[in-house]
Structure 1
């Protein structure tokens, strides 16, 4: 049935019912009671398309973000990004241009297998399937030009999403963050858009509920990579993958966290300092209303020099809100004539700006030789167990940056990279 979904997407269906998988019995098994720590458990997948008779584009891709099921500890959700793509000319080539980003609902069976219960395809407010194609100017454009598999330019998508962060609420709805606008989008249990929140001037129709204007200066393909919600379900907490290009292209280890009060629409901003410039803050999950876990990583595989896959515990308490007086100011709070991103640590200190406190919880490369390049999904399973998933890029890559799709193989092996669940014990309380 998954293959049928993939074929239907390839044939540009205008609408498609979400896939509901066969439910093995029994389902209600906690992963922590059946799965072993530090062991790879690949998520299920089918083949979406085959290139040159031997390169599989897999209809998997789950792992750009992950979150616990809010009502059932035996289940979890993971989300795909915009779909398979490669660098091409001044933008991106999309070999399956009508691919729809989706949320996967997963469970673990008594036999220790991960099963896909449902794929929830994301839709616009009218119920029409969206794509992962970039937004046009005025709607969250990043400057990336989209091309199809043949290298022809294709139309932008007003509701296109490069989904990365996800949280699931007890009422069955979801909030998803992305790398375009950046947007934070509220979806129904069936994946229909309920609300889209973006920087000032982007995607009109959300009234006063907007992100601060400065977030529109996100670097292309490095937008709001992680999203969490406080345990009381009152506040969304988003983290930017890298330094904002504020006011221009810049290399810095200064990144931003934004909080969004769902009741009032009020936002706050905080400085998060990476260990080095150009790393990726690829996930955030809540421990309490003020404490969170953050994945800070590079893009290297295990075995490559100084590969980093760190999980930090952070605390917003005591950190300085850098919102400034007017959240609609495009450069945000200034320190003299410098933006926050242009300032040095010493200048931040002199301006009495305190970043969020952070402490290392676990180094996954040192702990278990974590083999994947893109650690992007993490959630808390119990008081001392973390679950995490990697983004496998739909099992394809573009190693030479020439737009030619290749199979994504783990270095030093013949194994195709696969989105996989791992569990690890960690002291984060």
Structure 2
């Protein structure tokens, strides 16, 4: 639902859109929806910080099209905005999960120059688990007693070895894509970084794709700042593999790190790594470099981060490059840009280390759409644009005034905070679905992923009802 203030602004949207820059020619905002409440996990009780275990929030960490009007949305490691235990970065025994949502595109009517109000609905919740015992470290063990061991958002749920140890129970999902057969999903993670594959009918992990050791942290800590200080190589804490794409043929995964690896300069550096993984063999096949915009000054460079990557075809992709400003940060949004890249002919950087070596080999990029400009042209302000725009997924084509357009769904991570302060006033901070209409000439090489729609039987299997967990403290 729109707020009255936003609805009033939309009256002038068509005129404002005419003033929008050519960077998003052929791209328009055609729909918006919101979703909140509780999920369908069947979980009861509260987490360590008092938040309900079945909170429906943080949806926009990742979104994947599952066919038809169905989408899978993956929250991250759970509610951790309340101070309860700094020793574990205020993380909780949240069970990572994905939500199955019907967006409501089929029931909507789209017209040029206007924005339709969508009515998303939650149809299922899938908890992510392992049939093999996991290492929970000093965190509570999460099991239902029937052979399932649930992953956890707790930062202290790890054992010995590298951060990429697949036995670790801690899991911070940040990217999700649907396999070609529609029966499993691939999920990336920041703690490892990991890439895991889960069965959609059971939520059980059925495969793992291991990244080279250079992506891993060797000294682990439940506190992100301590972990960063203790390592000189590997992913930056809480900035592991953020985005994930799957090529339309369903054969290749393409993952992107949120920030540069520590040995490549960390968050003070400009160039992140993109990796490609052959699904059939499970092997990492290539690494590419992507250079972030300098949103600071020449004298004092500052770089944002990558939140998502989505496939246009088997070699072209769209990446979400953003800052952390806007609604949720009590600041003004500056950069939320979608860039287009082509990996065909790009240099492989597997053997290179360091910003100086990577930056000259970075793939060329071109601006696809400036989301800040587009949203402001449609009634948003610098402070009402969501700070964490993190999820992208193409969806089904729709008719806009009789013309077929592609849909690109943009979602935000609201950090499980339904209300946030904006200049001293409590302000709604919902999980939002922003539907972009993309004309065929704006993406002439687009190829939709062919995915079987989720079956009624598979969705019925997800009705977990009244799940009783055995949460044993270590």
Q: Matches of residues 201-240 of structure 1 in structure 2 within 5 Å?
A: 210-216=210-216, 217-240=234-257
> Does structure 1 retain, via aligned residues, the 8 Å contact 2:265–2:355?
no
Q: Matches of residues 406-421 of structure 1 in structure 2 within 5 Å?
A: 407-409=419-421, 414-421=426-433
Distance 2:34 2:424 in 1: 19
The verdict on how the C-alpha distance between 1:305 and 1:194 changes in structure 2, with shifts beyond 3 A counting, is same
Question: Secondary structure in 2 aligned to 1:225?
Answer: strand
The verdict on how the C-alpha distance between 1:263 and 1:305 changes in structure 2, with shifts beyond 3 A counting, is same
User: 1:64 Cα deviation (Å)?
Assistant: 0.4
Pairing partner for 1:379 from 393, 400, 414: 393
The verdict on how the C-alpha distance between 1:408 and 1:342 changes in structure 2, with shifts beyond 3 A counting, is farther
Distance 2:331 2:30 in 1: 20
Distance 1:308 1:425 in 2: 21
The verdict on how the C-alpha distance between 1:411 and 1:52 changes in structure 2, with shifts beyond 3 A counting, is farther
The verdict on how the C-alpha distance between 1:235 and 1:218 changes in structure 2, with shifts beyond 3 A counting, is same
Distance 2:255 2:273 in 1: 9
Taking CA–CA contacts closer than 8 Å with sequence separation of 6 or more, which of the two structures ends up with the larger relative contact order? 2
Show structure 1 runs of 5+ residues with no match. 1-35, 143-156, 198-209, 325-332, 334-338, 397-406
1:362 aligns with 2:373: no
User: 1:50 Cα deviation (Å)?
Assistant: 10
User: 1:215 Cα deviation (Å)?
Assistant: 1.3
User: 1:37 Cα deviation (Å)?
Assistant: 3.5
Pairing partner for 2:189 from 178, 188, 194: 178
User: 1:139 Cα deviation (Å)?
Assistant: 5.4
The verdict on how the C-alpha distance between 1:225 and 1:239 changes in structure 2, with shifts beyond 3 A counting, is same
1:81-101 per-position Cα deviation (integer Å, ceiling 9, x unaligned): 01011486465112xx22111
Distance 2:335 2:390 in 1: 13
Distance 1:282 1:100 in 2: 22
Report the equivalent of 2:80: 85
Q: Matches of residues 234-253 of structure 1 in structure 2 within 5 Å?
A: 234-246=251-263, 249=266, 251-253=268-270
Moved over 6 A (4+): 50-57
Distance 1:54 1:231 in 2: 38
User: 1:214 Cα deviation (Å)?
Assistant: 1.6
Report the equivalent of 2:36: 44
The verdict on how the C-alpha distance between 1:313 and 1:99 changes in structure 2, with shifts beyond 3 A counting, is same
1:163 aligns with 2:180: no
Distance 2:51 2:238 in 1: 28
Q: Matches of residues 7-406 of structure 1 in structure 2 within 5 Å?
A: 37-46=29-38, 58-69=55-66, 72-86=67-81, 89=86, 91-94=88-91, 97-109=92-104, 110=107, 112-126=118-132, 127-134=148-155, 135-138=157-160, 141=163, 158-169=168-179, 170-189=181-200, 190-197=202-209, 210-216=210-216, 217-246=234-263, 249=266, 251-264=268-281, 265-276=283-294, 277-301=302-326, 304-305=331-332, 307-324=334-351, 333=352, 339-343=353-357, 345=359, 348=360, 353=361, 355-369=362-376, 371-381=385-395, 382=397, 383-395=405-417
The verdict on how the C-alpha distance between 1:74 and 1:260 changes in structure 2, with shifts beyond 3 A counting, is same
Distance 1:253 1:130 in 2: 32
Q: Which moved more, 1:305-314 or 1:36-45?
A: 36-45
The verdict on how the C-alpha distance between 1:53 and 1:181 changes in structure 2, with shifts beyond 3 A counting, is closer
- Between structures 1 and 2, the one with greater helix share: 2
Q: What TM-score, normalized by structure 1, do the two folds share? A: 0.71
Distance 2:50 2:255 in 1: 41
Question: Secondary structure in 2 aligned to 1:384?
Answer: strand
1:31-77 per-position Cα deviation (integer Å, ceiling 9, x unaligned): xxxxx9455311232398699999999432211000111xx221111
* RMSD across aligned positions (CA): 3.1
Question: Secondary structure in 2 aligned to 1:292?
Answer: strand
Show structure 2 runs of 5+ residues with no match. 1-27, 40-44, 109-117, 133-147, 217-233, 295-301, 398-404, 445-474
User: 1:108 Cα deviation (Å)?
Assistant: 3.3
> Does structure 1 retain, via aligned residues, the 8 Å contact 2:61–2:73?
yes
> Does structure 1 retain, via aligned residues, the 8 Å contact 2:333–2:372?
no
Question: Secondary structure in 1 aligned to 2:242?
Answer: strand
